[in-house]
């Protein structure tokens, strides 16, 4: 696989020591910007995501791994082996960026800590992602996405008040922390142009999820109020919920403000609702939330989803059908934008991946196939360490010999 030559980060070398979701998502974003991502993997098993039970066409389809690891190159190194450590350290000396998401302290024990590597390579930008950060009372606690959703407060506002809290049905804490890591790394690369120096970046999943709460945190920070669970409704707008249509499809819609109330009443052909002074303002409608939602629920059951979609769109009322994942990627707008890309993989054939969720006037970086375990070891050693192809082949053979012995 050749490295991407265009993109804002073209020419940037990233040494990727991450696995599972948060770190791989961060480096995938950097790959989408044109960076050369070299993923270091344990040579016999690789990233744990390669071993999630397959749901694809066959046992060779690493579905979960593919989702977060396109456009990267894989090098097999055992960082617990001193000889392999030495090679990884040489790669780090040539890298612009190193990113890891081990538990705090592990990278240092593996010989890949910030302090010694930055002394060798002062321009190195080093990013650590962990559940709770590199310091503090929770530093050593293990963290998974649902744990972070719980402790960050996200779970407390998800679901319905009469039921226990529920997690969001996607690994948002993992993905968001990866996004913040990529964001901070890109900023550090820009800053290095002025200073000539690298820097250390500490990304906490807990911090990232609290940051994502955005305006919902406003009333908590300023008024000391903890928001409750409102299901698909909101505490400030009515009607704003998910409704079932005549053809048993769910549609989510929202009357955003008082200006939208009359157009909504026209869309549902209920001028008497607008004429009712008890419903005139947002505050009024919130006070009559139960009865208004009952009226809207009954009305939505009278027409099909497509009919409601046309009516709401005509009157510029925000709405969306509740899609499952398959429907979401087959949505006409998603297809028009070309978000889902087809890539040829050497063992799985044609696979589909979600591409970068942005477009640039400078052109997009075409996604490449996710790497097979250790696929690019010789290639990367040759390029990054500036050694001959024969020396790189010899080094690769020595690595394979050590790994096979260690695995017996």
Query: For residue 355, is pLDDT > 50?
Result: yes
**In terms of Cα–Cα distance, which of 200, 335, 338, 231 is closest to 293?**
231
**In terms of Cα–Cα distance, which of 35, 26, 208 is closest to 101?**
26
Average pLDDT over residues 305-310: 98
Token digits for 291?
């009865």
Q: Is 334 left (phi over 0), alpha (psi -120 to 50) or beta?
A: alpha
Whether the CB-CB separation of 74 and 407 falls below 8 Å is answered with no
Average pLDDT over residues 235-258: 96
pLDDT of amino acid 60 = 73
Domains 13-212+332-406 and 240-244+250-321 share a fold: no
Among 127-141, 313-327, 366-380, 394-408, which stretch is predicted with the lowest mean pLDDT?
394-408
Longest Cα–Cα distance in the chain: 84
Token digits for 136?
């503090």
> Beta strand 250-254 with 240-244: parallel, antiparallel or unpaired?
antiparallel
Higher pLDDT, 269 or 54: 269
Q: Could you give the percent of the chain with pLDDT greater than 70?
A: 97
Query: For residue 319, is pLDDT > 80?
Result: yes
Q: Which of 16, 36, 96, 174 is catalytic?
A: 174
Kindly indicate the confidence band of residue 265, based on its pLDDT and cuts at 50, 70 and 90: very high
Query: For residue 135, is pLDDT > 80?
Result: yes
Whether the CB-CB separation of 246 and 302 falls below 8 Å is answered with yes
Q: Could you give the percent of the chain with pLDDT greater than 90?
A: 88
pLDDT of amino acid 364 = 78
Q: Is 174 marked active-site?
A: yes
- 40-62 pLDDT tens trace: 999 999 999 998 866 656 667 89
pLDDT of amino acid 406 = 79
Could you tell me the residue ranges of all domains in the chain? Answer: 13-212+332-406, 240-244+250-321
Kindly give the interhelix angle for 22-32 and 172-195, rounded to the nearest 10 degrees: 50
Q: What is the C-alpha to C-alpha distance for residues 81 and 7, in angstroms, rounded to an integer?
A: 35
CATH code of the region 240-244+250-321: 3.30.1540.10
pLDDT of amino acid 300 = 98
DSSP E strands, 150-268: 200-204, 240-244, 250-254
**Distance between terminal CA atoms of the chain?**
31
Q: What is the C-alpha to C-alpha distance for residues 11 and 9, in angstroms, rounded to an integer?
A: 6
Kindly indicate the confidence band of residue 79, based on its pLDDT and cuts at 50, 70 and 90: very high
Token digits for 152?
């960050």
Average pLDDT over residues 362-383: 92
Average pLDDT over residues 220-239: 91
Q: What is the C-alpha to C-alpha distance for residues 271 and 281, in angstroms, rounded to an integer?
A: 15
Class of CATH domain 13-212+332-406: alpha beta
Kindly indicate the confidence band of residue 217, based on its pLDDT and cuts at 50, 70 and 90: confident
pLDDT of amino acid 365 = 85
Kindly indicate the confidence band of residue 22, based on its pLDDT and cuts at 50, 70 and 90: very high
Give the angle 213-186-144 at the CA atoms, nearest 5°.
Answer: 45
Query: For residue 2, is pLDDT > 50?
Result: no
Q: What is the C-alpha to C-alpha distance for residues 39 and 77, in angstroms, rounded to an integer?
A: 10
């Amino acid at each position: 696989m050749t490295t991407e030559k265009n993109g804002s980060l073209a020419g940037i070398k990233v040494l990727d020591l991450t696995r599972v979701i948060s770190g791989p998502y961060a480096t995938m974003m950097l790959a989408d910007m044109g960076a050369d991502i070299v993923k270091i993997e344990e040579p016999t098993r690789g990233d744990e995501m390669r071993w999630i039970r397959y749901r694809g066409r066959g046992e060779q389809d690493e579905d979960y791994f593919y989702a977060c690891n396109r456009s990267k190159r894989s090098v097999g190194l055992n960082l617990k082996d001193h000889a392999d450590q030495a090679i990884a350290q040489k790669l780090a000396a040539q890298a612009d960026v190193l990113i890891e998401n081990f538990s705090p302290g592990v990278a240092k024990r593996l010989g890949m800590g910030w302090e010694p590597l930055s002394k060798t390579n002062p321009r190195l930008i080093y990013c650590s992602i962990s559940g709770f950060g590199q310091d503090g009372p929770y530093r050593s606690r293990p963290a998974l996405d649902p744990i972070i959703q719980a402790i960050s407060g996200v779970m407390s506002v998800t679901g319905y008040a009469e039921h226990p809290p529920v997690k969001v049905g996607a690994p948002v804490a993992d993905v968001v922390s990866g996004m913040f890591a990529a964001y901070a790394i890109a900023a550090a690369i820009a800053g290095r142009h002025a200073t000539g120096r690298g820097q250390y970046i500490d990304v906490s999943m807990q911090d990232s999820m609290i940051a994502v709460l955005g305006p919902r945190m406003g009333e908590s920070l300023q008024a000391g109020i903890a928001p409750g669970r409102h299901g698909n409704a909101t505490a400030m707008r009515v009607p704003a919920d998910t409704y079932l249509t005549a053809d048993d499809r769910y549609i989510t819609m929202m009357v955003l403000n008082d200006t939208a109330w009359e157009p909504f009443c026209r869309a549902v052909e209920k001028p008497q609702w607008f004429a009712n002074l008890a419903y005139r303002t947002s505050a009024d409608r919130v006070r009559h939330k139960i009865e208004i939602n009952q009226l809207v629920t009954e009305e939505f059951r009278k027409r099909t989803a497509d009919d409601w979609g046309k009516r709401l769109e005509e009157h510029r009322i925000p709405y969306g059908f509740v899609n499952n994942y398959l429907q979401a990627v087959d949505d006409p707008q998603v297809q028009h934008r070309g978000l889902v890309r087809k890539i040829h993989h050497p063992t799985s054939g044609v696979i589909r991946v979600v591409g970068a969720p942005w477009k640039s006037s400078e052109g997009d970086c075409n996604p490449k196939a996710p790497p097979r375990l250790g696929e690019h070891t010789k290639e990367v050693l040759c390029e990054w360490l500036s050694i001959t192809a024969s020396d790189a082949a010899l080094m690769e053979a020595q690595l394979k010999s050590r790994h096979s012995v260690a695995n017996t």
